[in-house]
A = this chain, B = another copy of it.
């Protein structure tokens, strides 16, 4: 048996508790699989005396997480504090400077400061690992960085925020409005302290930026991502989209082409019968379209104590086994700048409009589309008791520019009640 691998753990929330529990309950299995004991030397969190339901008595306590990076009896610092900057980043930098590896679950930090930190880590000969930052228990970072490393990657897609998927599927199943389900999710503890991180698509966007970096060998570029949350999705959208054979998902898509790197985290429609369309509740799914391997889909729990701890442990196990790899699968200094695509690749769009009950109303809308160069794939007007008629249109492929022109022209027709809703249809 080799020397033990000694951990310093910063952050004892849900994930930290899970990691401590795994180190304790899986000690023998971890020793068998890695050839070393995996031990915790010291821990740090905001409140020392909070009851977390785990036994921390054998570990030293540090009030300042950065102190973990300065301890001679710590080999790996496990950063579970969160936040793109602040103490998390300070801790990572101190760790590399002091010859320690970092394992983190911090998606914001990797998406925003991953390039800087990766360069620091690699210059210091240390590793920066973050399997837990993307899609919880699903080993997608490893699949992309290692399992599919020989492939040219064409597209990466994913539903990677369980809370949003819970809200959307719950709205559909229970026929409830967004606000009601949002409140439910809040009460169930599904939402981050700042719910915009979830429902605004930011959390999922961080994850997508990380996967895009690995897939395309580019510096993480969260800044240029097209980001749109689910706050404006109504039950009506969900129901009508379903009529047309689609489900609404907060879908991340990253795609490299001659146009540059396209990264979107937005509500999209996907066919009901597709694996992504069938994804229920808080489950996550990542779809990788690889040139040689074809379409590879991974599905599992995207959050929670056990799943996230499992991912953190897999990084710790790699380090214990001596499996050391560049942060994003190739040296950080070789990652390319990712020029953002000027506009998304053309797609079909789903449009939902409320038309005033006037003669020629539909004709004006159809003309506006035609003038914008957009042709109609399918159209449906519903019977109605009141003064407006719901109309659904599925267009043929159109540029976002053309669509925006059409949406602007709709407003000039004088036959539209309220705003037209437009949702991209993603071929999956």
Residues in A lying within 8 Å of B, measured CB to CB:
18, 22, 26, 29-30, 32-35, 131, 136-139, 142-143, 146-152, 217, 275, 278, 290-301, 304, 306-307, 309-311, 313-314, 316-318, 321-325, 329-331, 334
Contacts and interface: CB of A to CB of B under 8 A. Distances in A.
Nearest to A320: B149
B149 A317 contact: yes
A296 B299 contact: yes
Given A149-B33, A310-B150, A294 B331 contact: no
B290 A294 contact: no
A290 B146 contact: no
A296 B33 contact: no
Given A278-B278, A294-B300, 16 more contacts: A22-B150, A26-B152, A29-B217, A30-B150, A139-B147, A139-B296, A142-B146, A143-B143, A148-B314, A149-B314, A275-B299, A292-B307, A292-B313, A294-B304, A294-B307, A295-B301
Contacts of A318: 146
A299 B297 contact: yes
Contacts of A148: 139, 310, 314
Nearest to A299: B297
A34 to B, nearest CB: 8
A33 B330 CA distance: 5
A253 to B, nearest CB: 19
A146 B298 contact: no
A288 to B, nearest CB: 9
Contact of A310 (B29, B138, B293): B293
